């Protein structure tokens, strides 16, 4: 998983400069690693969302448009497309902050290497969470461009979609990484995946309005972070929705991200700074 430092130098990755702050070096580590592995990650972070969108948006969308004439005044594809960005943000953050974080503590032990230099546990967290956010921002920018080309965006606010995706990714990455830092084995990860990530993916209003669900389930769905991310992305893409609600979505995600980061730094410190 981890690439040795000299290997990176040999292959001509951009080098950190003298005088860079430690957190910036921690961030650079992930960038350099990504430079080696982005081709592999593009399958799960970019190709699969597009395939899901094609299957649900076009295939199931055909059935929906025929029967109900679209959803909320737009075609089903246009309805699902922005939500898929929030789902991708969840997917990318969860993938990068579960197994890889535990691996960096236990198997590859690269965090221990990092903290034996002037890089602190806090810098490690800033590097990790910062990188995941940047990664989601990059994926989201390409994804938004694809949506724009296919004419699924209805509002100029859609230009902010990558930022909304990045905020959603940040809001997931921080608390999940905080949790992973407390784990000794990967046993809990598949359970989180199956009982938190996948249900959120399926029930958070990405594929249909929450009003389609039974009444008791609706408030449960509305307090999940993914619902907030989906609603935010959809508001920006379709230009529908009240300003007050949009502020609530942003505030919810920002608070989750901030609290998550604080807890994450605490947990990393506990484990790394004995």
Partner 1 sequence: MAVAATLRILPSGGFGTRRALRMVERNVMIYRKGWPYLVSGFFEPLFYLLSLGIGLNHLVGSVTVGAQTVTYAAFVAPGLLATSAMNGATIDATFTVFQRLKIEHAYDSVLATPLTVQDIALGELTWCVFRGALYSASFLVCMAALGDAASPWVILCLPVAILTSLAFACAGMAGCTYLRSWQDFDLVSLALVPMFLFSGTFFPISLYPTGIQVVVRATPLYQAVALSRGCSLGVFDWAMVGHAAYLVVMAVTGLLITSTRFRRLLTP
The residue (of 22 and 100) whose beta carbon lies closer to partner 1 is 100
Kindly tell me which of 16 and 70 has the beta carbon lying closer to partner 1. Answer: 70
- Contact between 181 and 271 under an 8 Å Cβ cutoff? The reply is yes
Cα–Cα distance, 79 to 250 (Å, whole number): 20
Assign residue 75 a region: left if phi > 0, alpha if psi is -120 to 50, beta otherwise?
Answer: beta
Cβ proximity to partner 1: between 207 and 252 the closer is 207
The minimum distance between CB 157 and partner 1, in angstroms, equals 25
Integer Cα distance of 162 and 138 in angstroms = 8
Judged by the rule CB under 8 A, the positions of this chain that interact with partner 1 are: 40, 43-44, 48, 51-52, 54-56, 59-60, 62-64, 67-68, 71, 76, 187, 190-191, 194-195, 198-199, 202-203, 207-208, 212-214
Residue 189's nearest CA partner among 89, 103, 86, 85 is 103
Q: How far apart are CA 36 and CA 90, in angstroms?
A: 23
Q: Cα–Cα distance between 141 and 147 in angstroms, integer?
A: 10
Give 18 or 223: the residue with its C-beta nearer to partner 1. 223
Residue 261: exposure state from Cβ atoms within 10 A (0-12, 13-18, ≥19): buried
CB 58 to partner 1: min, Å: 8
Q: Report yes or no: 227 and 221 within 8 Å, Cβ to Cβ.
A: yes
Q: Which residue lies nearer to partner 1 by CB, 60 or 146?
A: 60
Nearer to partner 1, 20 or 107 (CB): 107
Q: How far is the CB of 5 from partner 1 (least distance, A)?
A: 21
CB-CB contact of 98 with 173 (8 Å): no
Closest approach, Cβ 202 to partner 1, in A, equals 4
**DSSP readout, 33-45?**
HHHHHHHHHHIII
**Among residues 57 and 229, whose Cβ is nearest to partner 1?**
57
CB of 59 to partner 1, least distance (A): 4
Q: How far is the CB of 104 from partner 1 (least distance, A)?
A: 16
The set of residues, in sequence order, having a beta carbon less than 8 Å from that of 190 and lying 6+ positions away, is none
What one-character DSSP code corresponds to residue 16? P
Alpha carbons within 13 angstroms on the beta-carbon side of residue 220 total: 9
Least CB distance from residue 267 to partner 1, whole Å?
23
């Amino acid at each position: 998983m981890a690439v040795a430092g000299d290997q990176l130098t040999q292959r001509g990755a951009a080098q950190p400069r003298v005088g860079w702050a430690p957190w910036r070096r921690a961030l650079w580590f992930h960038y350099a690693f990504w430079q080696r592995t982005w081709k592999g990650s593009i399958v799960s972070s970019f190709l699969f969302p597009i395939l899901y969108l094609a299957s649900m948006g076009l295939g199931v969308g055909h059935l929906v448009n025929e029967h109900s004439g679209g959803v909320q005044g737009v075609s089903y594809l246009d309805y699902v497309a922005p939500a898929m960005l929030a789902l991708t943000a969840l997917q990318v953050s969860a993938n990068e902050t579960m197994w890889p974080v535990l691996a960096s503590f236990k198997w590859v032990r690269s965090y221990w290497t990092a903290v034996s230099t002037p890089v602190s546990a806090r810098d490690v967290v800033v590097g990790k969470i910062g990188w995941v956010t940047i990664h989601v921002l990059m994926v989201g920018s390409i994804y938004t461009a694809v949506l724009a080309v296919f004419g699924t965006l209805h509002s100029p606010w859609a230009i902010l979609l990558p930022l909304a995706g990045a905020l959603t990714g940040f809001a997931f990455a921080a608390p999940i990484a905080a949790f992973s830092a407390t784990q000794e084995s990967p046993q809990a990860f598949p359970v989180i995946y199956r009982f938190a990530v996948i249900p959120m993916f399926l029930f958070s209003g990405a594929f249909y309005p929450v009003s389609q669900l039974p009444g008791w389930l609706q408030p449960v769905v509305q307090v999940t972070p993914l619902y907030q991310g989906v609603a935010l992305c959809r508001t920006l893409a379709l230009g529908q929705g009240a300003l007050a609600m949009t502020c609530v979505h942003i505030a919810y995600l920002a608070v989750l991200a901030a609290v998550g980061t604080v807890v994450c730094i605490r947990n990393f410190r506990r484990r790394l700074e004995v």
